[in-house]
Chain A
């Protein structure tokens, strides 16, 4: 399926002497520019006894740097009309500033200042340990389904500790983190050669290059960190577990299968199969489980769920789904119905018309996503960090659209087979589970 040129973004890429990779995508139609800095370190880089460290470190990135004392980062971005944040993922940690376009220089200065020299001290570390503990109480311990999804599910789906441990970490591990640990982590992972700087929106390339040269080019590179061994044993038996959630009122079940390697043919096939099965109200799950059988109330599904989507999925990962279901239907019955839908694709395939709808849906969803400069910068940064090819932002869609009906049918049998399945039942109420 040919993609019209009007759907293409401009993409420029270069590298500084210290190994910092820079990606630009210019579009002058709105006076907005987004800066996105992505570092090749995440929760899967953590050591035993240090769970939650990558995320605690992300907090430290907002606590001040050599020329921007504590509080300056927030104040400078907001007083220049921008917004900012950071987030920690299994394989990367990212930071963004979205600014009115004539304020771009401020964001670049801030990102360079903290990449060059972070202010790491006892007071900031103690304070951020408290903030993270509060974040854990808010987003995990006090919220229904959260512990099940974010902690029990990875433990069930993965056997390698690097993949299965908690991203936010335990209170004990957080307490154990020292200033020396933080300093060493910064040195190892926050080097320019382990990062990508992406800018999207309304800016002049020559001016941006000049600023980037002045701010970033003499930050010292470090030895390239090794990606830890993340390999998982082949799953030959289905896994099943029940988690009792005293905060939940409505039962739910998580179902997942090990996914293919990123950007292999299987990855594109499974992504298209997911659209046919679960995307929007015309999908099979919606029409047959929510509507026809009236067993499922709401669901979400994705390659990489709950930590990623297809664009930042990295293996080993799972194609997984969360289904909130009616109390009078058992989790086992919901799983049986899910497998029945998978089996229908495996045995009968998909109709041309159904696939045509899925392709159109994907093309339109992709364009919608790329309307915001922040989303464009994110995608460019992720493509460069994970694949070394930011131009995929324009070309990769073709690989999804080229998937044939027979390939989707084969993917259902190959990837979503019962012996590869993990099921986490989330039962409301306290007690042993």
Chain B
């Protein structure tokens, strides 16, 4: 007989098992990883380079992302239009983008077209010509896109927090400015591409309904084998300043709410502090059963969204708290957030919270790897961040291994309110005074 008053007992969570991975390396240094997934006749490919925006020279922010965007806009073999039509004809797409650490050419297609897909991706990575007309169109459109992005309070808040937490490292500038877009030229884009897009240090991930490995390797060799390697440029030195409290208000007149961010420099995935911090940040604000959600949203009704997250980069990382509250409660909400941030470091976490966070992180990790594109993305992150492949299978075990005292210590350090940078985007006339209760406020204009 089933007792309907109690939730049903269920077994322990299953462990995540990575399907078999075939790993190989071409003579020119390109590493290739193949994972078979025959559920549907599709393939996903990621060609990743350690060539993200941290390589943008000062004042040329957005160089990596615009170089990436132009890779599919014309090559020595195809016009932009031919490339777009061919990608659609093989049931997929080829696009490229850049983050802080990496530049990735991503492609997908019906499985029968794997050879044509790799040929398109190799063409983009090896033969892009950066046509002047396409460069001008990109600049014109990126400018307007940036204006549209900067009209959003959350964009302004994210952009400023990244800058405050990570400066003077180039990580501080992960998005372009109107001035830096104006400075981009064809020669700069082509130069960035020539310097950074080399098979040495690059990785190719293939997932999906693949032919036998020997045959796939032949196809890979055909598309990428003749590509001469070069030494990729060294990344900027991983030096970061001691975190300290600052308060920045971005005045956006007419805002009906205040967009609040708190952030502090933290660690990358390879650090022993990473998993304790990840579990701690999950208890603080990683989901609907977290402390911030329960306190700021469910108890006080201050906000729709109140959460925290860890943002790992290759050379460091950051902890971030996000909430958007009505103008009248900006000081009360900020006080409540700061109090929650200090509590875990002082008192630690309960058994129940710990168990919830561990299960949540492990379960969601398995769920997120359900699609072939998600697995391809995960593998490309792991390789480009310099982590061992075992990271994927060990993720769950390391979440479970984070001990209560390690979590408390990580929280005491990385959630320390006295070292948190505060960024608020909102109507200065309404919220400057309440913010000044927390210390001196630097005011900037939006736009």
Chain A interface (Cβ within 8 Å of chain B)? 4, 6-7, 27, 29-32, 62, 67-68, 70-71, 74-76, 78-84, 98-103, 105-106, 109-110, 112-113, 126-127, 130-135, 137-139, 141-144, 211, 214-215, 246-250, 280-282, 286-287, 290-291, 294, 297-298, 324, 326-327, 356-357, 360-361, 363-364, 367-368, 370-373
C-beta contact mask, B314-327 vs A, less than 8 Å → 1, else 0? 00000000001110
The residue in chain B whose Cβ has the minimal distance to the Cβ of A361 is B88
Selected from A102, A282, A297, the residue in CB contact (under 8 A) with B13 is A102
Complex CA–CA separation, A357 to B81 (angstroms): 14
- A350 → B minimal CB distance (Å): 14
C-beta contact mask, B251-264 vs A, less than 8 Å → 1, else 0? 00011110100000
Known contacts A138-B305, A294-B137; is-contact A98 B367 (Cβ 8 Å):
yes
Q: A32-B367, A102-B14 are in contact. List 4 more A-B contacts (CB 8 A).
A: A131-B298, A139-B304, A280-B88, A367-B40
- B241 → A minimal CB distance (Å): 33
Question: Which 9 pairs from chain A and chain B are nearest by CB?
Answer: A81-B363, A130-B301, A364-B91, A74-B288, A281-B84, A79-B356, A135-B304, A282-B88, A105-B8
Q: Determine whether the beta carbon of A371 is less than 8 Å from that of B371.
A: yes
- B122 → A minimal CB distance (Å): 19
Complex CA–CA separation, A135 to B91 (angstroms): 38
Interface SS of chain B: mixed
Selected from B13, B294, B324, B371, the residue in CB contact (under 8 A) with A372 is B371
- B430 → A minimal CB distance (Å): 13
Contact residues in B for A81 (Cβ distance below 8 Å) = 13, 359-360, 362-364, 366-367
Q: Determine whether the beta carbon of A67 is less than 8 Å from that of B6.
A: yes
Complex CA–CA separation, A247 to B150 (angstroms): 10
Q: Determine whether the beta carbon of B10 is less than 8 Å from that of A103.
A: yes
Selected from A68, A79, A215, A297, the residue in CB contact (under 8 A) with B355 is A79
The residue in chain B whose Cβ has the minimal distance to the Cβ of A104 is B10
20 contacts between A and B (CB under 8 A): A31-B14, A31-B366, A74-B287, A83-B367, A106-B8, A109-B7, A127-B299, A127-B301, A131-B298, A142-B255, A142-B256, A142-B324, A143-B152, A144-B151, A211-B2, A249-B151, A280-B93, A298-B145, A367-B41, A372-B370
Complex CA–CA separation, A142 to B303 (angstroms): 13
Q: Determine whether the beta carbon of B304 is less than 8 Å from that of A103.
A: no
The residue in chain A whose Cβ has the minimal distance to the Cβ of B293 is A74
Q: Determine whether the beta carbon of A68 is less than 8 Å from that of B85.
A: no
The residue in chain B whose Cβ has the minimal distance to the Cβ of A101 is B14
Selected from B93, B289, B447, the residue in CB contact (under 8 A) with A75 is B289
The residue in chain B whose Cβ has the minimal distance to the Cβ of A124 is B298
Q: Determine whether the beta carbon of B372 is less than 8 Å from that of A371.
A: yes
Complex CA–CA separation, A253 to B302 (angstroms): 34
Known contacts A357-B88, A364-B109; is-contact A100 B13 (Cβ 8 Å):
yes
Complex CA–CA separation, A368 to B209 (angstroms): 13
Q: Determine whether the beta carbon of B151 is less than 8 Å from that of A80.
A: no
Interface size of B by CB at 8 A reads 77
Complex CA–CA separation, A286 to B256 (angstroms): 36
Complex CA–CA separation, A326 to B145 (angstroms): 10
Contact residues in B for A281 (Cβ distance below 8 Å) = 72, 80, 84, 87-88, 93
Q: Determine whether the beta carbon of A79 is less than 8 Å from that of B42.
A: no
Contact residues in B for A4 (Cβ distance below 8 Å) = 41
B76 close to A (CB within 8 Å): no
Q: Determine whether the beta carbon of B88 is less than 8 Å from that of A370.
A: no
B24 close to A (CB within 8 Å): no
Contact residues in A for B303 (Cβ distance below 8 Å) = 131, 134
C-beta contact mask, B29-40 vs A, less than 8 Å → 1, else 0? 000000000011
The residue in chain A whose Cβ has the minimal distance to the Cβ of B85 is A282
Selected from A31, A75, A137, the residue in CB contact (under 8 A) with B256 is A137
B350 close to A (CB within 8 Å): no
Q: Determine whether the beta carbon of A100 is less than 8 Å from that of B7.
A: no
The residue in chain A whose Cβ has the minimal distance to the Cβ of B16 is A31
- B278 → A minimal CB distance (Å): 15
Complex CA–CA separation, A84 to B84 (angstroms): 36
Complex CA–CA separation, A112 to B4 (angstroms): 9
Known contacts A31-B366, A131-B301, A364-B110; is-contact A282 B87 (Cβ 8 Å):
yes
The residue in chain B whose Cβ has the minimal distance to the Cβ of A360 is B91
Q: Determine whether the beta carbon of A84 is less than 8 Å from that of B4.
A: no
Contact residues in B for A82 (Cβ distance below 8 Å) = 360, 363-364, 367
- B160 → A minimal CB distance (Å): 16
Complex CA–CA separation, A267 to B298 (angstroms): 43
Contact residues in A for B141 (Cβ distance below 8 Å) = 290, 297-298
- A46 → B minimal CB distance (Å): 21
Q: Determine whether the beta carbon of B302 is less than 8 Å from that of A134.
A: yes
Contact residues in B for A291 (Cβ distance below 8 Å) = 80-81, 137
Contact residues in B for A367 (Cβ distance below 8 Å) = 40-42
* B269-326 interface (Cβ within 8 A of A): 287-289, 293-294, 297-299, 301-305, 324-326
Known contacts A110-B7, A131-B297, A361-B88; is-contact A78 B356 (Cβ 8 Å):
yes
Complex CA–CA separation, A281 to B81 (angstroms): 8
- B359 → A minimal CB distance (Å): 5
Q: Determine whether the beta carbon of B40 is less than 8 Å from that of A142.
A: no
Q: Determine whether the beta carbon of A78 is less than 8 Å from that of B148.
A: no
Known contacts A101-B14, A144-B148, A324-B148; is-contact A138 B84 (Cβ 8 Å):
no
B385 close to A (CB within 8 Å): no
Q: Determine whether the beta carbon of B364 is less than 8 Å from that of A297.
A: no
Contact residues in B for A327 (Cβ distance below 8 Å) = 144
Complex CA–CA separation, A408 to B238 (angstroms): 57
Q: Determine whether the beta carbon of A214 is less than 8 Å from that of B2.
A: yes
Complex CA–CA separation, A83 to B361 (angstroms): 10
Q: Determine whether the beta carbon of A360 is less than 8 Å from that of B363.
A: no
The residue in chain B whose Cβ has the minimal distance to the Cβ of A103 is B10
The residue in chain A whose Cβ has the minimal distance to the Cβ of B147 is A249
B225 close to A (CB within 8 Å): no
Contact residues in A for B304 (Cβ distance below 8 Å) = 131-132, 134-135, 137-139
Selected from B92, B305, B367, the residue in CB contact (under 8 A) with A100 is B367
B90 close to A (CB within 8 Å): yes
Selected from A29, A138, A373, the residue in CB contact (under 8 A) with B324 is A138
B11 close to A (CB within 8 Å): yes
Complex CA–CA separation, A357 to B6 (angstroms): 53
Selected from B90, B324, B355, the residue in CB contact (under 8 A) with A137 is B324
